[in-house]
Amino acid sequence: MGLKLKSKPISELEYIKWDPEKVVYAFSQGNETCAESAVLAGCDFFGGYPITPSSEIAEVLSRRMPQEGRVFVQMEDEIASMASIIGASLGGARTMTATSGPGFSLMQENLGYAITTEIPCVIVNVQRLGPSTGGPTSPSQSDYMQVKWGTHGDHPIIALSPSTIQEVMELTIVSFDFAERYRTPVILLMDEVTGHMREKVGYPRQEDISIFTRSNELPESGDYKPYDLSVKSGVPPLISFGEGVRYHVTGLIHDEYGFPTRNRKEIRDWYDRIYRKIDNGLDRILRYDLYNLEDADTVIISFGISARTGLEAMIQARKKGRKVGMVKLLTLVPLPEEMLKEVIANVDRVIIPEMNRGQLILDIERLNKKGIDIIPVNRYDGEIISPGDVLDAIGGC
């Protein structure tokens, strides 16, 4: 008992220098906010195919990108959308696409290509019921596992999940930073409710945002290895096409120069490096907010819109004297395993509300070495989980 863990909030990253005098407040929808924040983050290229419940992102950007002298392309489908953001990124642009489950499924092959070739890009998935066309206007959180394992083969990826419109704004900006900093696709995982609800959001000015930018600096030796194994961080600098070097890009497992290899050591070293680059960044990548853990015997662990339900339930349970705490995951993939292990080791039980038939819970159970009670609260009927559903799981009176 007596957890002394600290939150790792988004603000700690200091990507936004907030000037209270200069903040502009808006009453803004999640999707609109995501689009405006992409513009603020310096997104140069959006290629997408509108789909409910993400359509407003494309709608807003189709107007805003040309206004800013940047590129918006409505592609013929989601396969091409994903291809377009990879190509534009390799050409030096900060790129994004936005979709929902059916489109995200179509993107999986090219998503794997972006992971393998280590080309930065941001993919927004505003989740709806699935599989297939599922439920276009119904919220869901059932793409949690698809985000991790939708494309085949061993691979790391980063996925972030907002639960408020302010977090939509800040995590959109963080997504662009992580994509460039770690040379990886980043998934911003939203849901129909966070996409469509409106809330007060404070916008910084563009000049108050500073995120990772490619240096495009050629090595002194003139010998550029786009997949250099010797870089300590595990992230070889990416030089955009057209900046003075030629190199090979392929989805085949490749050597340091980007050419296909069947050399066993090179194959192993490549896999180990793409995992190492994420592992080395965990201190920055893992973001979560913790509430009332100090004396908690019961902890709710959740993300996205269900985390808001969890917080409401926590507050109502606390009013009745129950020792309930909360872990709100902002980074979903990779999971903050060390923090979660410590929580599990120090409480009697955890409750996992999620709008699916139980996906996050599988990862939490894997960390449950002590064998405490792990209680699912699932909803998959197109309505969000209510505080009462979670209070029922907490039990008592």
Partner 1 sequence: MMERFDVRLAGLGGQGLLLAGLILGHAVTIYDKRNAVQTVNYAPLARGAPSRAEVVISDGSIYFPEVLNSDVLLAMNQSAYDEFKSQVKPGGIIIADTENVKNFCQSEETYKFPISKIAKLETGRTITGSIVGLGIISIITGIVTPSALTNAVKTRAPRGTVQTNLRALSAGLSAMEK
DSSP line for 324-385? EEEEEESEEES--HHHHHHHHHHSSEEEEEESSSSSHHHHHHHT-TT--EEEEEE--SSSPP
Q: What single letter denotes the amino acid at residue 245?
A: V
Tokens of 217: 């600096």
Q: Looking up tokens 């959740």, which residue turns up?
A: 302
C-alpha–C-alpha distance, residues 239 and 228, integer Å: 12
Return the residues of window 375-394 that contact partner 1 according to CB under 8 A.
384, 386-388
Residues touching partner 1: how many (CB under 8 A)? 22
Task: Based on the shown chain and the rule CB under 8 A, indicate whether residue 23 belongs to the binding site for partner 1.
Answer: no
Binding mask 305-324 for partner 1 (x = CB under 8 A): x--xx-xx--x---------
- Residue with smaller CB distance to partner 1, 11 or 263: 11
- Identify which range of 3-11, 22-30, 120-128, 225-233 contacts partner 1 by CB under 8 A: 22-30
Smallest distance from partner 1 to CB 128, Å: 12
Smallest distance from partner 1 to CB 34, Å: 17
For residue 27, the cross-strand partners are: 200
Binding test (CB under 8 A) with partner 1, winner from 134, 136, 156, 358: 136
CB count, 10 Å around CB of 295? Answer: 11
- Residue with smaller CB distance to partner 1, 6 or 198: 198
Smallest distance from partner 1 to CB 305, Å: 7
Smallest distance from partner 1 to CB 27, Å: 4
Q: Is 369 exposed, middle or buried (0-12, 13-18, 19+ CB in 10 A)?
A: exposed
Binding mask 183-202 for partner 1 (x = CB under 8 A): ----------x--xxxxx--
Smallest distance from partner 1 to CB 359, Å: 22
Tokens of 301: 């662990």
Q: Are 374 and 352 in contact (CB under 8 A)?
A: yes
Smallest distance from partner 1 to CB 197, Å: 5
Binding test (CB under 8 A) with partner 1, winner from 2, 20, 25, 246: 25
- Residue with smaller CB distance to partner 1, 41 or 201: 201
Structure letter (DSSP) for residue 7:
-
Smallest distance from partner 1 to CB 168, Å: 13
Backbone angles phi, psi at 253, to 5 degrees: -60, 130
Binding test (CB under 8 A) with partner 1, winner from 2, 4, 14, 27: 27
- Residue with smaller CB distance to partner 1, 115 or 391: 391
- Residue with smaller CB distance to partner 1, 91 or 202: 202
Smallest distance from partner 1 to CB 324, Å: 13
The 8 Å CB, 24+ separation contacts for 170-173 are 170/10, 170/11, 170/15, 170/16, 170/37, 171/10, 171/330, 172/33, 172/34, 172/37, 172/38, 172/41, 172/122, 172/124, 173/15, 173/16, 173/37, 173/40, 173/41, 173/209, 173/211
- Residue with smaller CB distance to partner 1, 35 or 238: 35
Pairing of strands 185-191, 95-99: unpaired
- Residue with smaller CB distance to partner 1, 16 or 313: 313
Smallest distance from partner 1 to CB 279, Å: 33
- Residue with smaller CB distance to partner 1, 25 or 369: 25
Q: Are 170 and 10 in contact (CB under 8 A)?
A: yes
Smallest distance from partner 1 to CB 379, Å: 13
Binding mask 139-158 for partner 1 (x = CB under 8 A): --------------------
CB count, 10 Å around CB of 269? Answer: 17
- Residue with smaller CB distance to partner 1, 196 or 254: 196
- Residue with smaller CB distance to partner 1, 45 or 203: 203
DSSP line for 183-219? TSEEEEEEEHHHHH-EEEEEE--GGGB-------PPP
Binding test (CB under 8 A) with partner 1, winner from 137, 215, 233, 250: 137
- Residue with smaller CB distance to partner 1, 157 or 305: 305
Strand ranges, E, within the chain: 24-29, 45-48, 71-74, 95-99, 121-129, 135-139, 158-160, 185-191, 198-203, 288-291, 298-303, 324-329, 331-333, 349-354, 373-378
Given the rule CB under 8 A, which residues bind partner 1?
Answer: 25-27, 52, 136-137, 193, 196-200, 305, 308-309, 311-312, 315, 384, 386-388
